[in-house]
Amino acid sequence: MSTHTDRLGTSERAVRRRLDRVTDPELDESIVALDYVDEIAVEGRQVRVAFTLPTAWCSPAFAWMMATDAREAVEALPGVDRARIRLREHLHEMEINEGVNEGLAFAEAFPDADGGVAEVRATLDAKARLARQYDAVEALLEAGLDPRQIATLEFTDLWIDDPAVAFVRERSVGVSVAADPVESYLEKARETGLVADDHPELFRTPEGDPIPVDRFELIQHRCRLATVNMGGQGSVCDALNEARRAENRPPLSPEEHIP
């Protein structure tokens, strides 16, 4: 069955909302919020998206992940048949643009690379999960839960609404908690396979195990460290981005200068 919007395609706004879910895997921040997206063009059921990264030598694996995620996110819209992604001003833009738009695997686009992107993605996702766990746990502490309650909280003890509710004391008491950090954590917990594994506990050590109560503080400190690392790297990327776009800055090398 085809609806009115389906036939007409989609809107730039809808595309942007989809792209907002795509993150820079190293910073765990939306590519829309980071201002990487330069252009969105909708023509009927075809969409074109152009984006630029802070430096021309950003890891090709990261660039690949963002480009494929963007394509998938946009093509998941009901009114879109085809999304073409164009990465600009990158050392490997040719390989990436060709590979992503033709649906190649990373190893096909980069025969010299040592491995696929799956492992890189898993490492960065695990870090992003820790950073999000930090925020969710802080929100629960703020809401009045104690470390034992948080460490033993299970996925099924959460009720997602606005605000979210965490049930404690054998589910006899519901405590309101800010929904954003909890939902954002759940999203990464799902992506990293924690929701479907053998443990019912909501929060985990970096290795994926339930958190022993006596290690609660240490684990939270490690989660904080993941947050600070991502923020620190974001600052370095920012500064390079500004330097690169400064007036009078010569192009890095001729083949990189894409009109």
Q: Site residues (CB under 8 A) for another protein?
A: 26, 55-57, 59, 91, 114, 127, 130, 221-222, 224-226, 228-229, 231-233, 235-236, 238-240, 242-244, 246, 249-250, 252-253
Q: Of 196 and 246, which CB lies nearer to another protein in the complex structure?
A: 246
At its nearest, how many Å lie between another protein and the CB of residue 130?
A: 8
β-strand partners of 177: 164
At its nearest, how many Å lie between another protein and the CB of residue 208?
A: 16
At its nearest, how many Å lie between another protein and the CB of residue 184?
A: 19
Q: How far is CA 152 from the centre of its chain?
A: 27
Distance between CA atoms of residues 131 and 133, nearest Å: 5
Among residues 96, 106, 114, 105, the alpha carbon closest in space to that of 57 is found at: 96
Q: Residues 145, 166: contact at Cβ < 8 Å? A: yes
Q: Of 9 and 134, which CB lies nearer to another protein in the complex structure?
A: 134
Q: Which contacts (CB < 8 Å, 24+ apart) does range 91-96 have? A: 91/56, 91/57, 91/60, 91/256, 92/60, 92/63, 93/258, 95/60, 96/60, 96/63, 96/64, 96/67
Q: Of 79 and 147, which CB lies nearer to another protein in the complex structure?
A: 147
At its nearest, how many Å lie between another protein and the CB of residue 226?
A: 5
Beta carbons within 8 Å of 109's beta carbon, 6+ residues apart: 64, 95, 96, 98, 99, 100
Q: Of 31 and 56, which CB lies nearer to another protein in the complex structure?
A: 56
At its nearest, how many Å lie between another protein and the CB of residue 186?
A: 22
Q: Of 117 and 140, which CB lies nearer to another protein in the complex structure?
A: 117
Q: Of 27 and 100, which CB lies nearer to another protein in the complex structure?
A: 27
At its nearest, how many Å lie between another protein and the CB of residue 233?
A: 4
